[in-house]
Chain A
Amino acid sequence: MTNLEKYNQAFCETFQLENPDFDALQYMGIEQWDSVGHMSLVAALEDAFDIMMDTDDIIDFSSYAKGKEILKKYEVEI
């Protein structure tokens, strides 16, 4: 699986979405992506890429697009 596929899968599985408009996904933008959903998403991404995200990055992870930039810091190119 490519990194993009893994990244997309984390969103789909965490939020139980089928073929969403990925670029439109943002924190508090859909019902499922609330603070509880956010924690599950971070856990799913940390598992998928075997990383540990910093506090600031977890807080700044406010959208699908922003997340791609953040993961670069952890040498995950999407």
Chain B
Amino acid sequence: MDNFFWNNLAQFQDSVALMEESKEITYAQLDKMAREISSHMKERSLVFCICKNTIGAVAGYVGFLQKRIVPVMLSHTIDRTLYENLVNIYKPQFIWCPNDFADNLPLYEKENYKLIETGTQEPAMDEELAVMLTTSGSTGSPKFVRQTYINIQSNTEAIVEYLGIIPEDRAITTLPMNYTYGLSIVQSHLMAGARLVLTEKSFFDRGFWDFFKESQATTFGAVPYTYQMLDKLRFLQMDLPSLRYITQAGGRLGEELHYKFGLGMRQKGKALVVMYGATEATARMSYVPADKAVEKAGSIGIAIPGGHFELIDVDGSVIHEPDQVGELVYYGPNVTLGYAESREDLNKGDERKGRLETGDMAKRDKDGFYYVVGRKKRFLKIYGNRVNLVEVEDLFSKEGFETACVGEDDHMLIYTTSNESDKLVEFISSKTGLNRTAFSVKHIDEIPHNESGKVLYSQLPVN
């Protein structure tokens, strides 16, 4: 289709598309670069795209979309054992990676990125399949979400519309591109003809704030944990004249911080937009309009344009009354095809048909605003990453540790029969790439099980 935004980037001509600390690239240049990169691959190739917030990564990604090459989006900091495992499972034909990521001789090089050809054959892939993104990438499972071209186009259109992104916007990167939220910021700003300010630096780097001011950034996104960092940095007292609004996703911000930042931003004549989503819904499902940030603090808001929610009670019927808790189900063109766990799965078709069971328990107030109140499934959000507790227990089990993992967002509590608590923390921290402070270990003599061998989480000792 000609109206996919990635095919029309050249229309923005000499507007700056991408900015690094010492370099700027216009839309015309980006379009040309993207086409040059993809010219070395055939349509419907499978490529591992090793992401870093740089010109090379963005240009590569755009080129893949344009030529219908399917990228598997991975972080440049990925654990090497996990990476090798993924290469063995998916057998990509190409790797597009930073020059220093691998020693292999490149087929082609551009912007400190190189293209490596592996010599494998092209896999059978569903025609609609556009991009593969991890959900719980942090636990290293080979599970990816299969997103289509229509998923990306429709969700990006909705985001541009409800956030009101304008060509004058300049989004500074604060999240990785292999993470759905980070990628949605890249996509929505390209669609709007706005500017991406690319950096790998964090809020705790002076260089980040220097570049923020120099580039006159107008917006960025952050996850709950980074809002705590911003709070610690007294962000609301900072003088950032170019800033227009900030967004939040990647887990529950909590009513207190939602209110504090909503009010603080409003008092400065700026805005906070809290959003809710999932990789399985491409990126976004709902948002709290900025003018409701204070009044509806703690809410996940209303469905995005083109989508809608339903709440389903335990009997499977739809809840119509306000303030009743049920499972949150989302409908929209951004609901993805399903998961892939192997190379064969790339050829699977649509398993969801536009309907996504979120696994979150929620209620709706009388004004139609939704509130997440709990979870149906066993996972935690740690620093914005969904971490599946079952997968973590499996990882431990393969290492010979018997564990039962519980906890709250940003903090996992690992019950274990092992005495090597340091080893457990070191292992899981390196596998997930999450800081050790996210994990604590409690030794117990025995993990309580029922007769069929299921762990009785309710009988674990209270910490």
Contact = CB atoms under 8 A, between A and B. Distances in A.
B233 A55 contact: yes
Interface residues of A, number: 20
Interface in A19-55: 27, 31-32, 34-40, 42-43, 54-55
Interface in B224-267: 225, 228-229, 232-235, 237-238
Contact of A42 (B206, B232, B422): B232
A59 B209 contact: yes
Contacts of B436: 15-16, 32, 37
B422 A16 contact: yes
B438 A54 contact: no
Contacts of A39: 204, 228-229, 232
Contacts of B450: none
B425 interface: yes
B202 interface: yes
A4 B450 CA distance: 50
A25 to B, nearest CB: 15
A43 B410 CA distance: 15
Contact of A60 (B206, B430, B434): B206
Nearest to B226: A35
B435 interface: yes
A58 B228 CA distance: 13
B203 A55 contact: no
A55 B237 contact: yes
Contacts of B22: none
B383 interface: yes
Given A35-B202, A35-B204, A40 B437 contact: yes
Interface string A59-76: 110000000000000000
Given A16-B436, A27-B204, A58-B232, A36 B383 contact: yes
Q: Is the interface of A mostly helix, strand, loop or mixed?
A: helix
Interface in B128-183: none
Nearest to B382: A36
Given A27-B204, A42-B232, A58-B204, A37 B435 contact: yes
A14 interface: yes
Given A16-B425, A43-B232, A59 B437 contact: no
Contacts of A32: 435-437
Interface string B429-456: 1100011111000000000000000000
B205 interface: yes
Contacts of A31: 429-430
A69 B437 CA distance: 26
B437 A35 contact: no
B425 A35 contact: no
B204 A59 contact: yes
Contacts of B206: 59-60
Nearest to B430: A31
A43 B235 CA distance: 16
Contacts of A59: 204-206, 209, 233
A42 B430 CA distance: 23
Contacts of B434: 36
Interface string B194-205: 000000001111
B232 A35 contact: no
A60 B205 CA distance: 8
A31 B202 CA distance: 15
Contact of A36 (B233, B235, B238, B438): B438
Contacts of A43: 232
A59 B235 CA distance: 12
B238 A55 contact: yes
A14 B435 CA distance: 11
B232 A34 contact: no
Nearest to A54: B234
A68 to B, nearest CB: 18
Nearest to B205: A59
A16 B421 CA distance: 12
Contacts of B437: 14, 32, 36-37, 40
Contacts of A58: 204, 232-233
A34 B203 CA distance: 11
Nearest to B233: A55
Given A16-B422, A16-B425, A38 B238 contact: no
A55 to B, nearest CB: 5
Nearest to A56: B206
Contacts of B383: 36
11 contacts: A16-B425, A16-B436, A31-B430, A32-B436, A35-B203, A39-B204, A39-B232, A43-B232, A54-B234, A55-B237, A58-B232
Given A34-B435, A36-B225, A55-B234, 16 more contacts: A15-B436, A16-B425, A27-B204, A31-B429, A35-B204, A36-B437, A37-B435, A37-B437, A39-B204, A39-B228, A40-B435, A40-B437, A42-B232, A59-B205, A59-B206, A59-B233
Interface of A: 14-16, 27, 31-32, 34-40, 42-43, 54-55, 58-60
